[in-house]
Chains A and B, each alone.
Chain A
Amino acid sequence: NAGVTQTPKFQVLKTGQSMTLQCAQDMNHNSMYWYRQDPGMGLRLIYYSASEGTTDKGEVPNGYNVSRLNKREFSLRLESAAPSQTSVYFCVSGVTQLQETQYFGPGTRLLVL
């Protein structure tokens, strides 16, 4: 099993550009999440998907959109990137919503100039 995979690993954008961060898991997990990690702010939840076909906002959803394409894939889109979105983005998956161990992807490092 590859676990949770993310692409790209690193990306540089100019302010106003758009991009989609891709995430896939091969563990047949129902729940998938997007977090961002920033120095001094810790890890914060952007969006999550409890199951295929559903998505919900987390703590910091502004400026982002998500798509749960199927059970395996959960993408995060930045429509118009801003310097404040410079961060490390982690995709996470888990078996069920509550009683679960969460599995992290390797992260995508995004720099917005």
Chain B
Amino acid sequence: KNEVEQSPQNLTAQEGEFITINCSYSVGISALHWLQQHPGGGIVSLFMLSSGKKKHGRLIATINIQEKHSSLHITASHPRDSAVYICAVYRGQKLVFGQGTRLTINP
């Protein structure tokens, strides 16, 4: 079992839908990253969380430390949101990554 599990692995939705991507981890962590990777391969940091909830534009990230679970939500999804979304947790000095969720938003 991976230390960081994401679900779903693939998600296809229509433009405008509300999207939720989940991340569960099995180890104690100091912080959790949500990252976005576009087809060209570049990675953008969306959020870093250690507690509670953060919002940036149409993106919302929440974390429940006790349950070792985080969610990334996208409201009013748009085709440009199509990307791979990766959850990563700091364990000691390194980031441990989930396998990613491939999101496709159709117009």
Asked if A pairs with B, the answer is no
Residues of A near any B CB (own CB < 8 A): none
Residues of B near any A CB (own CB < 8 A): none
